[in-house]
Amino acid sequence: MRLSKMHLKTLREVPNEAEIPSHILLLRTGMIRKLVSGVYGFMPMGWRSVRKIEEIVREEMDRAGGQEIHMSAVQPAELWEESGRWFAYGPELWRLKDRNGREFCLGPTHEEIFTDLIRSDVSSYRQLPVNLYQIQTKYRDEARPRFGLMRSREFIMKDAYSFDRDQEGLDKSYQDMYEAYDRIFTRCGLTFRPVEADTGAIGGSNSHEFTALSEVGESEIAYCEKCDMAATVERAECVDAPASQDAELPLEEVYTPGTKTIEDVAAYLGLSQEQTIKALLFVTYDEEGKENGYVAAFVRGDRELNMTKLVNALNIPEHSIEFADEEKMSAATGCVGGFTGPIGLHDCTIVVDSELPGLKNLCAGACKEDHHIKNVNYGRDYKGDIVTDIKTLKEGDPCPVCGAPIKHARGIEVGQVFKLGTKYSQSMGAIYKDENQKDQLIVMGCYGIGVTRTLAAVVEQHHDENGIIWPMSVAPYHAIITVMKPDDPVQAEVAERVYKELGDAGVEVLLDDRKERPGVKFKDADLLGIPVRITVGRGAADGQIEYKLRRDADKEEISVDEGIARAIQIVNQEK
């Protein structure tokens, strides 16, 4: 492709709304174009890279036994109501009505559609297993779209769904997809880590998130350097502190004026924060958005509450809970903002972290202004309606597997695999007849890859201060030929020869034949990040060209023949 003919507009200035490198560079290179907040179009260069990622995904999905289909993005509400997700998915579900008032949604994912397809087409064990996938535009009505392609309202995703006879079959399908994902992200040039993850609104029993390591990622992962433990912080299990063997002391109410925080009360009473109980107060809502009840969650004072674990413990959607209005909750339950403890509460669900029952003589709020109670003990003084792990695994905490100190890192979720089990087949009646002609529920898995998010993750990991540094496999073009003086007949002839021979050899090549200053061309070449750069300048008269890889600082003056040969060789090795 000749740059003089390409629809390309690069920007010298950083766009105001862009905060992270991938967003900045994809806008500056003209690869994406913003329409409205969270909605982007793809220009020629950007679309070529999207298609490269899609092709890698297709190749590996086909290799793993997947079959590609394409279903509608417009989904009838009835299927979501069957599965129970019409409410559970929450406000991110983009809902609409047709002219007759029938409700639909723009699909954020396709479990219901694929389950409906299979329950119609599959009746016998002989037709299983099957794995179907699609690459399609998805929609989520994000409350706060940001970071360009990282959190957008419209995006391209590969979603696959496996259908098996039993759990053993699902385990194999899951492992096949896990290994396919490992190959896909390796081929895309990403440094990534598979970690255990929460199943969220998708549901199911088990999940792994494939996380591209990046400081700007929204996903926080906890991992251990001594063993294989790795999980999102949302999912990571915690080790409870050893149970105390101390004798239980009598309750003692103490005056603690103005001590509404754990830090304040611990300092006032001369206690460590580990000797206190922290209270967090919430209100929940039903499907119609009406208040459904209050929740008081308790953790050790130095701990942080894990909202995902709390939501899972309550078995409610994450959008149906928020921090309570303390005055309203006080009138209903007896809590007192800043001085709430588990003793004396009523008419609310009490959720107690699994660590607290083993600890003795803790300090908690007295549900009385400016007062706390010392020597609070589980069982004797209070009980929980739910007792489970609801704390966050922090950096330095012991690994739940081997006990070594936990490390934290940030990353970008680029893919996730789920063991759905019979969640959808049971609610939607997807059954097959086994060898004995008995009805059995189909066992499902689902597997997603954010194609456009993967594009952004690649740019996050592969750039410098001058622009993008594309891995060969997903670069919009493999090589760029920069002609210093397009009007010089010798330079033009050499450039045309290189352009033709590379193209004939299967190298995707750009020819920068624009009548621009050399400095502009070099800046654009660095910004666009094409892996191989060949410069045709004054040395052309002597049969010499300049050869440089975008990822390297060094450049060389070599013969035209050698430059062509080396470009072909590296492209074939790395594409």
The pLDDT assigned to 289 comes to: 85
CB 549 within 8 A of CB 532: yes
Whether 197 has a pLDDT exceeding 90, the answer reads no
What pLDDT was estimated at residue 198? 77
Q: Answer whether residue 550 shows pLDDT above 80.
A: yes
Q: Could you report how far apart the first and last alpha carbons of the chain are, in Å?
A: 18
* Band (16; pLDDT cuts 50, 70, 90): confident
- What stretches of 123-197 show up as alpha helix (H) in DSSP? 167-187
Q: Residue 391 corresponds to which amino acid? A: K
User: What is the structure's pLDDT at 201?
Assistant: 59
pLDDT of 433-458, one tens digit each?
999 999 999 999 999 999 999 999 99
Whole-number pLDDT of residue 205: 63
* pTM of the model as a whole: 0.90
Task: Look over the chain and give the mean of its residue pLDDT values, rounded to a whole number.
Answer: 95
At 199-250, the pLDDT tens digits run 665 555 688 999 999 999 888 999 999 998 999 999 899 999 999 999 999 9
Dihedral sign (CA 61, 67, 73, 75): negative
Average pLDDT of the segment spanning 334-362 = 96
Q: For residues 298 and 278, is the Cβ–Cβ distance under 8 A?
A: yes
Burial 231-248 (b: 16+ CB within 10 A, else e): bbbbbbbbbbeeeeeeee
Instruction: Decide if pLDDT at 196 tops 80.
Output: yes
Q: Give residue-wise pLDDT tens across range 294-330.
A: 999 999 999 999 999 999 999 999 999 999 999 999 9
- For residue range 376-402, list pLDDT tens digits in order: 999 999 999 999 999 999 999 999 999
Residue with tokens 């006879």: 165
Mean pLDDT on 359-375: 97
Please write the tens of the pLDDT for every residue from 482-492: 999 999 999 99
Residue 47 DSSP symbol: H
Chain position carrying tokens 């409870």: 240
